[in-house]
């Protein structure tokens, strides 16, 4: 391991984030673990404060102090109240209980050199911010999502006129946190711009990314269990959640439009509330829609190897800008079709993908058919995508993130 640049000594770094999963729990690797791994590789001593209640499964995890896949990383698994619905008062109580648990735990531990606080942290940031201020510890805020904005999108249409005044205190709380920060990081450039609008402290962007070498390694061999039926046309893949935040209705409706043409096949790997609809369509149109169910992230490579286009299908109004599935597609050398706008436009401008507005399955079907009839264009999109993929390698992104932390502390 290379040594850190801070006065010739390693830094004690606290990462405070109740969400996310440990690598050994079988989900895709999370921001906090990727950052902790990079910091440990540079000789620092990272400690991750996370919750004993796991967000995705809505179940309690066993008390853990380390993860075999994160050597050199200490883990404090803090108690928190459970919740059922993601947008609910139970979720607020969950975050508040985590904040109290952090306040209790921090009183018994030696002071760190720096704290990295994951944002959104609307209901647990207070104890962390006060601890950092009281002890003169640099505080870095890592913006992973935009919660007040997401709440506005999720509100029922009849209530939306009432949303701005209701959310005003949450925006004010975020502004206060960002103004008190020593530095801010965004996982997209758009999120970083939110911070630049309200603070003069150093702000930078470090993407989540994926392990590009690992994605490409898993693509080289296709197990018989993952071998798709032969198809003389364009194969598109959607890998992700089948839920309300995604434009699954348009994807489903496009299957019915594409089926008579026989030029496009859509492969879906995922799970969620929309699964029954996808399963029914796969039975009705087996040559146009192949449903694989839930596939572990490390098993997606063989699926990507048999496709040419990746689908980034998000619901209208989504605040997502650069999703992890996009980095997967780029690493795998897949062109993409997306309903997202914003920062992803720069990748479209470079020729890696095309845009299709959410809620328009007829246009989606038309665009996919046109791509199927233009294999030269598809190959060019794949070439550009593969080159861009290396830009978003998660090891490189988080090594640079670690250097940013070192510079701020120094």
| Tens digits of residue pLDDT in 370-386 | 999 999 999 999 999 99
Residues 187 and 292 in one domain: no
Q: How many domains does the chain have?
A: 2
pLDDT given for residue 304 in this prediction? 97
Residues 227 and 344 in one domain: yes
Residues 43 and 100 in one domain: yes
Residues 219 and 200 in one domain: no
Residues 149 and 284 in one domain: no
| Range scoring the smallest mean pLDDT among 153-167, 182-196, 298-312 | 153-167
| Tens digits of residue pLDDT in 54-103 | 887 888 998 888 888 899 999 999 999 999 988 789 999 999 999 999 99
pLDDT given for residue 1 in this prediction? 40
Contact 405, 45 (CB under 8 A): no
Domain at 336, CATH number? 3.40.50.2000
**Is residue 7 one of the residues assigned to a domain?**
no
Put residue 345 in one of left, alpha, beta given phi > 0 → left and psi -120 to 50 → alpha: alpha
**Is residue 32 one of the residues assigned to a domain?**
yes
Residues 123 and 221 in one domain: no
Residues 128 and 259 in one domain: no
What is the percentage of the chain residues whose pLDDT exceeds 90?
Answer: 78
Residues 304-317, mean pLDDT to the nearest whole number = 94
**Is residue 43 one of the residues assigned to a domain?**
yes
pLDDT at 140 over 50: yes
Residues 360-366, mean pLDDT to the nearest whole number = 97
Residues 120 and 190 in one domain: yes
What's the Rg (C-alpha) of the chain?
A: 22
| Tens digits of residue pLDDT in 200-228 | 999 999 999 999 999 999 999 899 888 99
Q: How confident is the model at residue 320 (pLDDT cuts 50, 70, 90)?
A: confident
Q: Are strands 183-186 and 203-205 parallel, antiparallel or unpaired?
A: parallel
**Is residue 5 one of the residues assigned to a domain?**
no
pLDDT given for residue 8 in this prediction? 62
pLDDT at 191 over 80: yes
Full residue range of the structural domain in which residue 179 is found: 12-209+393-409
pLDDT at 7 over 60: no
**Is residue 4 one of the residues assigned to a domain?**
no
pLDDT at 3 over 70: no
**Is residue 1 one of the residues assigned to a domain?**
no
What 3-state DSSP class applies to 64? coil
Contact 180, 344 (CB under 8 A): no
Which residues, in sequence order, are CB contacts of 384 under 8 Å at separation 6+?
335, 350, 351, 352
């Amino acid at each position: 391991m290379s040594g850190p640049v801070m006065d010739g000594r390693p830094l004690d770094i606290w990462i405070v984030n109740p969400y996310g999963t440990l690598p050994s729990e079988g989900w895709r690797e999370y921001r906090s673990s990727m950052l902790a791994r990079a910091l440990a590789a540079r000789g620092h001593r990272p400690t991750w404060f996370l919750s004993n209640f796991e967000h995705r499964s809505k179940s309690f995890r066993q008390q853990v102090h380390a993860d075999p896949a994160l050597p050199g990383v200490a883990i404090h698994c803090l108690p928190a109240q459970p919740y059922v619905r993601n947008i609910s008062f139970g979720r607020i109580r969950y975050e508040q209980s985590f904040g109290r648990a952090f306040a209790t735990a921090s009183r018994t531990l030696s002071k760190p050199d720096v704290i990295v606080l994951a944002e959104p942290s609307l209901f647990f940031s207070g104890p962390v911010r006060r601890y950092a201020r009281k002890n003169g510890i640099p505080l870095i805020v890592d913006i992973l999502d935009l919660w007040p904005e997401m709440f506005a999108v999720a509100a029922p249409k009849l209530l939306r006129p009432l949303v701005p005044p209701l959310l005003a205190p949450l925006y004010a709380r975020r502004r206060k946190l960002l103004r008190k920060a020593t530095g801010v990081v965004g996982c997209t450039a758009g999120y970083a711009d939110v911070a630049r609008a309200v603070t003069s402290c150093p702000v930078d962007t470090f993407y989540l990314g994926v392990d590009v070498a690992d994605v490409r390694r898993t693509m080289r061999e296709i197990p018989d269990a993952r071998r798709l039926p032969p198809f003389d046309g364009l194969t598109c893949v959607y890998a992700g959640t089948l839920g309300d935040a995604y434009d699954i209705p348009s994807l489903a409706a496009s299957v019915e439009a594409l089926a008579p043409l026989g030029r496009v096949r859509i492969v879906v790997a995922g799970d969620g509330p929309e699964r029954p609809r996808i399963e029914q369509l796969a039975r009705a149109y087996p040559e146009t829609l192949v449903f694989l169910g839930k596939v572990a992230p490390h098993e997606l490579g063989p699926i990507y190897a048999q496709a040419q286009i990746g689908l980034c299908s998000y619901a209208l109004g989504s605040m997502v800008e650069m999703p992890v599935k996009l980095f997967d597609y780029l690493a795998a050398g897949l062109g993409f079709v997306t309903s997202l706008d914003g920062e992803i436009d720069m990748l479209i401008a470079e020729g890696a993908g095309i845009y299709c507005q959410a809620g328009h399955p007829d246009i989606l079907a038309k665009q996919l058919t046109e791509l199927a009839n233009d294999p030269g264009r598809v190959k060019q999109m794949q070439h550009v995508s593969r080159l861009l993929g290396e830009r978003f390698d998660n090891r490189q992104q988080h090594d640079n993130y670690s250097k940013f932390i070192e510079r701020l502390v120094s």
